[in-house]
């Protein structure tokens, strides 16, 4: 929107300046140079937005140039030019810089009265009052925005802490469950192995073979239990719940707006571990690309399971018209990872949106 406003203001200035010069029967070289200098200044103003002194000098110079160019034949159109410059002062300057630059503009305007001296005085008084009210309102808006940003920062910190506390609670719960399994189930399996070994030594040959087989089964069960306990000591690396936590984390830390929706019982899709990890990594890579390359920090994530026969995920974000993309290392790695678990990834642009869509077959448990 700001870009369009810039062109609207520039068009208004060009028309005003052109009509004003059209009132001259002869345009001198000084007036041509002054016109070029004025519009050069208009384009240079944004470059000094962080330097109040430079901006003050540039805007003062613009007011003086208007006076020089239209000195011989002032018209009511010069009121528009000085009003525009006053607006720039209110918007870009503060404190003493705004006051000094405003005084320079008023002096320049009163030296170039388009109608009469009383008009210029009354208009100057009116302009000062409007500028003061507008400046106060702008300060109020800036203070409100500062308070909003401070509250937003606190909200993001609280949200991040909440996610961290939730993760810690889950980890403590897994540790507790793992310790219970290790202490109780592991102890009982170890005791069972010892009893089976004693029974095998006392049994005949036929019974010994059967007891040996039972001992191997018990040993395998003990190893599986130990592996499960060890796995519970590590963070989860994938899964749909991990994707939700990733979304919450990115929203809290990077202020990226994510619209997340689920259709067709997607949360009930029976994906195996490798598939859930692949989906997690793909969504993670897609959101990373949005934060790196998108002009708007906004994304939409969709999970669906049409007919409960496939699982489909889609990550999309708005792009500018004419956007061109190249499949880089990250997208190639993502496609390969999804293909390794039997799926496929499509990358396309449609209606000013960049879309990454992945499809995976659902593995039926027990088939």
pLDDT in tens, 158-167: 766 666 666 6
pLDDT in tens, 302-337: 999 887 788 999 999 988 877 777 777 778 888 888
Question: Please, where are the H alpha helices in the chain?
Answer: 2-22, 29-44, 52-69, 77-92, 95-111, 117-180, 186-202, 205-232, 240-254, 273-293, 329-340
Question: So what's the pLDDT on residue 313?
Answer: 92
Q: What is the pLDDT of residue 240?
A: 67
Between 288 and 214, name the one with better pLDDT: 288
Element holding 115 (H helix, E strand) = none
User: Does the domain made of 240-361 have the CATH classification 3.30.110.40?
Assistant: no
What pLDDT is attached to residue 287? 85
pLDDT at residue 344, as a whole number: 92
How confident is the model at residue 172, as a pLDDT? 65
pLDDT at residue number 97 = 86
pLDDT higher than 90, residue 286: no
CA distances from 95 to 28, 105, 159 (A): 38, 16, 38
pLDDT of the residue at 13: 82
Instruction: Give me the pLDDT at residue 332, please.
Output: 84
Give per-residue pLDDT as tens, 128-141.
887 788 778 877 88
Under the banding of pLDDT at 50, 70 and 90, the label for residue 367 is very low
The residue to which tokens 């026969």 are assigned: 309
pLDDT in tens, 40-93: 888 888 888 778 898 899 989 988 888 888 877 767 778 888 888 888 888 888
């Amino acid at each position: 929107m700001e870009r369009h406003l810039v062109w609207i203001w520039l068009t208004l200035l060009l028309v005003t300046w052109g009509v004003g010069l059209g009132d001259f029967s002869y345009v001198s070289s000084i007036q041509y140079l002054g016109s070029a200098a004025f519009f050069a200044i208009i384009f240079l103003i944004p470059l000094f937005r962080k330097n109040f002194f430079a901006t003050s000098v540039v805007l003062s110079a613009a007011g003086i140039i208007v006076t020089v160019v239209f000195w011989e034949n002032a018209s009511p159109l010069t009121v528009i030019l000085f009003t525009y410059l006053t607006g720039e002062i209110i918007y870009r300057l503060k404190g003493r810089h705004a006051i000094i630059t405003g005084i320079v503009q008023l002096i320049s305007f009163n030296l170039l009265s388009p109608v009469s001296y009383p008009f210029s005085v009354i208009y100057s008084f009116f302009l000062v009052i409007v500028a003061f009210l507008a400046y106060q309102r702008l300060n109020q808006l800036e203070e409100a925005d500062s308070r909003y940003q401070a509250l937003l920062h606190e909200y993001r910190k609280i949200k991040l802490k909440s996610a961290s506390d939730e993760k810690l609670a889950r980890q403590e719960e897994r540790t507790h469950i793992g310790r219970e399994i290790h202490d109780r189930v592991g102890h009982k399996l170890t005791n069972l192995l010892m009893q089976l070994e004693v029974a095998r030594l006392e049994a005949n040959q036929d019974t010994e073979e059967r007891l040996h087989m039972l001992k191997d089964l018990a040993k395998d069960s003990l190893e599986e239990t130990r592996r499960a306990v060890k796995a519970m000591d590590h963070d989860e690396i994938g899964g749909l719940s991990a994707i939700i936590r990733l979304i919450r984390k990115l929203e809290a830390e990077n202020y990226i707006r994510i619209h997340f929706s689920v259709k067709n019982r997607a949360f009930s899709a029976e994906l195996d571990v490798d598939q859930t990890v692949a989906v997690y990594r793909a969504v993670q890579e897609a959101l990373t690309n949005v934060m790196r390359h998108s002009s708007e920090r906004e994304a939409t994530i969709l999970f669906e399971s049409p007919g409960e026969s496939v699982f489909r995920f889609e990550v999309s974000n708005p792009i500018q018209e004419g956007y061109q993309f190249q499949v880089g290392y990250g997208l190639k790695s993502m496609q390969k990872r999804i293909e390794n678990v039997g799926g496929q990834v499509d990358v396309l642009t449609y209606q000013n949106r960049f879309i990454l869509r992945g499809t995976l077959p659902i593995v039926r448990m027990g088939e």
